[in-house]
Structure 1
Amino acid sequence: MISQKDVLGIIYLIQLMCGILGNSLLFCFYSINFKSGPKKRSIEALFIHLGFANTMMLLFRGIPKIIEIWGWENFLEDIGCKLITYLQRVSRGLSLCSINLLSVFQMVTISPNSPMWALLKARSHKCILPCCLFCWVLNLLMDVFVPLYITGLTNSTNKGRRNLGYCFMDWHAMSLLKVHIWKSLYDNLFVGIMACSSVYMVVFLYRHQQKVVHIHSTNLAPRVSPEIRATKVILLLVSTFVCFNTISGPFILYVEYSNGTSSWADHVTVFLSISFQSISPFLLITSNTQIHKSCSIF
């Protein structure tokens, strides 16, 4: 008879394997295309960065949870707990930064050829790699104090701390230092920028569609430009990211107010927290015509 923990472990394992496989394929494809392609596109560097950040999130969030579910108790000491929890938060921030950079970069790419936008377009391609580096530095510094409030399960002085399943977190001490407030402001700032750029792209696509409707031709339907196709893909990624984060919000609050005693809500939170990282590569694969052409060759 399969137990509930076995079912949960299998679900997490399937989610983890699918996500790592999808992100690895995308990482390899865009890396090869970026190096050997006839025209290096900066947006491909952003997809590479997103795939790497998603893989980090899947590994550091999914593997410890699977090990915990399948009964390997106290498998992390204090140092391991601090490192894993820190990397979880950093990888989540990197994923958010990557989606944000993609949306802003694409907004600049499809913008009209006015003097101001033309200057931004000329500089945007040179700023991609520095922006990725800035995301790393920012996220590494943002959560640098979190490991101070994480301890292993073997520690005997964990009264009043929140049980994460494989570690303890001093939630009260972090609240006193307003760590959660700063993290919320950080997340909301990036989500706000992402929302503004997405609204701009939606308006642009609507106006473009209105122009296309008025084009009368007896020829075949006009081909969709790469910029329009990339804009639709990025909007799909942004909406998927926002959707999963919105759904997981109430469960996160419930887990926090229940002091980590609700196991079902914790499992739902973990599942939703890595769902975007598991699904996003397949969204890109199904919408990328270059990948389809490469696969048809083989």
Structure 2
Amino acid sequence: MISHHEVLWIIYFIQLITGLLGNSFLFCIYNYNFITGYKKRTIDPILIHLTFVNVMFLLLRGIPQMIRVWRLGESLNDIECKLITYFQRVFRGLSLSSTCLLSVFQAIIISPSSLFWSKVKTRAPRCILPCSLLCWIFNLLIDVFVTVYVTGPRNDTTKERINLGYCSLDIHAMSPLKVVIWKTLYDFIFVAIMACSSIYMVFFLYRHHQQVKHIHHTVPSLSASPEIQATKSILLLVSSFVCFNAVSGPFILQMERAQGTISWAYYVSAILSLTFQSVSPFVLLGSDTQIPRSFCIL
């Protein structure tokens, strides 16, 4: 009979493989479009960056989880724990900020061609690289505190530490509640920006839908517009990110109550943390009209 550890390993493995294949495929397609100029879009560099950070997060989060489940009782040393946990948080933050950038730039792209928005649209492509670099710098600095409270598991002080599987959290170095508040505030800023841009895009889609009602002979071409399709896919991408990541805080608090043991909250949190990166490429594959044509050419 299959044990629960084997079931968890299978779940992690499926998430890892599907996420790696999906994101790697999109990474190659978007790079091909960007380099060759085939159906090149303003948001392609952001999509390339998003798929790259998703791959890195899946590797840094998924592989340690699989190793921990497969090799029970083994743990990492302090340096390994600090590095892996630090870069997990960095790439998770980069995934969030890249999704935020994607929604903002798409909102700019679909904006009406007024004098103001024309200037913004002209300057927007030149701002993508600086914004991406700022995201890297910000995320590399914001998670430095991870090295203070994350160490390798210490069996002699389990009551004073929260077991994170292959690492542990020092309660006295930093309260889990403070971690939740800090990360929630960090996430809230980007989620708020995504919400504003998403509301604007929803308003634009609604207005577009109202307009095409009165132009019956152009409905097929308008409904299949690449800008409209891209907007819908990004809205779905943002919604899935919020859904999968909004519930992480309560599970961290539940792990605190476990008093050094690995609870069900840990497993649920680990699975949810990998879900967006595993699902997001298929959201884009299912709605991006460029993918089938690019794939055929390749």
Given the two structures, how large is their TM-score scaled by the length of structure 1?
0.92
Deviation at 1:254, TM superposition (A): 2.4
Q: 1:220 to 1:190 in 2, by over 3 A?
A: closer
Matched residue type, 1:112: P
Q: 1:260 to 1:246 in 2, by over 3 A?
A: farther
Quick one: distance in 2 between partners of 1:225 and 1:142? 39
Deviation at 1:183, TM superposition (A): 2.6
Quick one: distance in 2 between partners of 1:123 and 1:294? 27
Q: State the percentage of identical aligned residues.
A: 61
Quick one: distance in 2 between partners of 1:220 and 1:142? 47
Q: How does 1:111-150 map to 2 (within 5 A)?
A: 111-150=111-150
Q: Is the 8 A contact 1:74 1:153 kept in 2?
A: no
Counterpart in the other structure of 2:153: 153
- Please state whether the residue corresponding to 2:172 is helix, strand or coil: helix
Q: Is the 8 A contact 1:260 1:266 kept in 2?
A: no
- Please state whether the residue corresponding to 1:74 is helix, strand or coil: coil
Counterpart in the other structure of 1:263: 263
Matched residue type, 2:79: I
Q: 1:23 to 1:260 in 2, by over 3 A?
A: farther
Counterpart in the other structure of 2:209: 209
Counterpart in the other structure of 2:20: 20
Q: 1:256 to 1:214 in 2, by over 3 A?
A: farther
CA deviation profile, 1:180-229 (whole Å, cap 9, x unmatched): 43332211111111101100100110000000011132x78224221111
Q: CA RMSD in A?
A: 2.2
CA deviation profile, 1:255-278 (whole Å, cap 9, x unmatched): 344446452221111111110100
Q: 1:221 to 1:97 in 2, by over 3 A?
A: same
Matched residue type, 1:98: S
Given the two structures, how large is their TM-score scaled by the length of structure 2?
0.92
Quick one: distance in 2 between partners of 1:11 and 1:180? 26
CA deviation profile, 1:86-112 (whole Å, cap 9, x unmatched): 011111100000110000001111112
Counterpart in the other structure of 2:221: 222
- Please state whether the residue corresponding to 1:166 is helix, strand or coil: coil
1:282 pairs with 2:282: yes
Q: Is the 8 A contact 2:180 2:249 kept in 1?
A: no
Q: Is the 8 A contact 2:46 2:101 kept in 1?
A: yes
Specify every segment of 5 or more residues in structure 2 that has no aligned partner in the other structure, as ranges: none
Q: How does 1:25-36 map to 2 (within 5 A)?
A: 25-36=25-36
Specify every segment of 5 or more residues in structure 1 that has no aligned partner in the other structure, as ranges: none
Larger deviation: 88-97 or 105-114?
105-114
Matched residue type, 2:83: L
Q: Is the 8 A contact 1:103 1:194 kept in 2?
A: yes
Q: Is the 8 A contact 1:64 1:166 kept in 2?
A: yes
